[in-house]
Amino acid sequence: MLNIIKGAYLGGFLAKQFFHQLSSRPLLPSFKNVAEVKHFLPGRVRLFIPFLKGNKQAQQDLISQLGRVKHIKEIEANTVSGSLLIQYDLEQVEPTLIIVAVLKILGLEKQIEQKRTPLILEKFQQIGQAFNRAVYENTNGLLDLRTTVSLSLVYLALKKIIVNKELATPGAFTLLWWACNTLDLAEKKI
């Protein structure tokens, strides 16, 4: 029991120290797979920029244009790893401005503005497309997944209305509403 209390105390102490360090550092903008902040200390920032990989021209552009800023002390761009290390005078330059300048020089602003699709959503869409293709091929083009679901909902709604005489329940009307919404024929993918 005493070990559990010691462990909890130590864990709390370490967490407090960790979050204190985080709160004392400014948050820098980091953009996954575009320009990620990999390491930051005052006066030094390391970015991972996949666009730099194998791109000697981008490396030269960065070094020549950022080198013109008198408060940037050192620039190291690695085209093998896509790493960019910038050392600067922390009294004169905001690290956020350095990141913005890098994005502007490399023309990566459009990539940041692009809508991103979460990986899990992509996988669910692929599964849905596979089911859609299977239904379409097994019915020789008569139905797809969307129309099958819609017709099933219409069937269930009519069954509730006609057989069960459940006219007042919202279930049947909800099913009809879902059927109408899923029958939206815009942008069918087969």
pLDDT in tens, the chain (190 residues): 556 665 565 566 556 655 555 544 557 888 888 889 998 888 999 999 999 999 999 899 988 998 888 889 999 999 999 999 999 988 888 888 888 888 889 988 888 887 877 888 888 888 888 888 998 999 999 998 888 888 887 888 788 778 877 665 556 777 777 776 766 543 444 4
Residues 75 and 125 in one domain: no
Residues 31 and 86 in one domain: yes
10 found inside a domain: no
Residues 100 and 37 in one domain: yes
Per the structure, the complete domain to which residue 165 belongs is given by: 119-182
> Which tokens go with 131?
């089911």
Laid out side by side, the sheet with 83-88 consists of 36-41, 44-48, 83-88, 72-78
39 found inside a domain: yes
Give the pLDDT of residue 76. 92
148 found inside a domain: yes
Residues 34 and 99 in one domain: yes
Give the pLDDT of residue 183. 60
From 61, 85, 113, the end of a domain falls on 113
- The structural domain count of the chain equals 2
Give the pLDDT of residue 122. 84
Residues 32 and 86 in one domain: yes
Residues 31 and 105 in one domain: yes
**Cα-to-chain-centroid distance, residue 108:** 16
Residues 124 and 85 in one domain: no
pTM passes above 0.85: no
- Give the residues across from 166 on adjacent strands: none
Give the pLDDT of residue 93. 85
Give the pLDDT of residue 186. 39
Radius of gyration of the chain, Cα coordinates, nearest whole angstrom = 28
Cβ atoms of 44 and 85 within 8 Å: the answer is: yes
Query: What CATH number did the domain enclosing 82 receive?
Result: 3.30.1360.40
Q: Look at residues 87, 30, 77 and name the one whose alpha carbon lies nearest to residue 52.
A: 77
**Cα-to-chain-centroid distance, residue 33:** 9
Q: Give how far Cα 31 sits from Cα of 85, 135, 165, Å.
A: 16, 39, 56
**Cα-to-chain-centroid distance, residue 102:** 21
From 113, 145, 169, the end of a domain falls on 113
46 found inside a domain: yes
> Which tokens go with 143?
């139905």
